Structure 1
Amino acid sequence: YPADDKATHTYITLASDTAMLDELDAAGTALEGTEQKRLGPEALAWLAPAGGTLDSPFSKISSKAKFKATTTTRNLRTLIKVRDAAAALA
């Protein structure tokens, strides 16, 4: 999935309940102009305009209460830092 650039930021939504991620994926697919990709059963990547993440249509859907208990969304840069920190511990 693409790295961030000046116009967009990449986010990854992780889920403990794949059925909820299926529902979120379907809702995002129905949105016009939303770029997203299912990375696996527990992960979905999506793009948001830089500086407008919270106002993006997909963000508004993913922040609904029914998804909060089973999903978390992180910027790709944050996940890369976590991966690198974990690798340094190994």
Structure 2
Amino acid sequence: MAGYIALLRGVNVGGITVRSAELRELFEGLGFGGVRTVLASGNVAFESDRRETSAALKKRIEQALGERFGYAAWIVLVTREHLADVVRDFPFDAEREGWHPYVLFGSDVASLAELANSAGDLDAADDVIRRGNGVIYWHNRRARGIASSFAKLTAKARFKETTTNRNLRTLVKLLA
């Protein structure tokens, strides 16, 4: 069985409510094993023994989410192995006082490249980023939070379907 992590985008905000128990039921109903949700922000660890491409698996999950919960569902799907590598390779001091350790995931390499290239000269007192394998590592000063220039850039509508952000601590919990 292959281990996967589905990172749902835009749930439990803006009127889209997806309860963890219902999410777990949906994934189990799709035939996945070892289904585990982490926090109430759309994080699902699961196993699959089906022989399908990651793209087909992603599409099947998004379709099921949309049908069950009535919204245009987008996920970023990664393997458990890839997530472990991403967490291990976090390039900043994750314990730095007053800072959020984030990882921005993308299902489209071009979107991540555009984000990284559009970031320009960030104020290192608020935001620092570094490209990784299929991700952008992001350290954000808590006092600036979503008011920082990189946070505003990631929130643009054109990235909605292809990116999602997670705190490094959430990712560690997904691997536990």
Q: Does 1:57 align with 2:159?
A: no
| TM-score, structure 2 normalization | 0.44
Please tell me whether Structure 1 or Structure 2 has the larger radius of gyration of its CA atoms: 2
Equivalent-residue separation in structure 2 for 1:30 and 1:81 (angstroms): 32
Q: Does 1:28 align with 2:119?
A: yes
Task: Tell me: CA distance 1:32–1:6, structure 2 relative to 1, closer, same or farther (3 Å).
Answer: closer
1:68 partner letter: K
Q: 7, 10, 15: which is aligned to 2:106?
A: 15
SS at match of 1:5: coil
Equivalent-residue separation in structure 1 for 2:122 and 2:142 (angstroms): 19
1:19 partner letter: A
Residue 48 of structure 1: aligned partner: 140
1:27 partner letter: S
Equivalent-residue separation in structure 2 for 1:29 and 1:81 (angstroms): 32
Q: Which has the higher contact order (CA 8 A, sep 6+)?
A: 1
Residue 97 of structure 2: aligned partner: 6
Deviation at 1:53, TM superposition (A): 1.6
Is residue 17–residue 70 contact of structure 1 (8 Å, CA) maintained in 2? yes
Equivalent-residue separation in structure 2 for 1:4 and 1:65 (angstroms): 31
Is residue 29–residue 36 contact of structure 1 (8 Å, CA) maintained in 2? no
* Aligned Cα root-mean-square deviation (Å): 1.4
Residue 131 of structure 2: aligned partner: 38
Gaps of 5+ in 1: 85-90
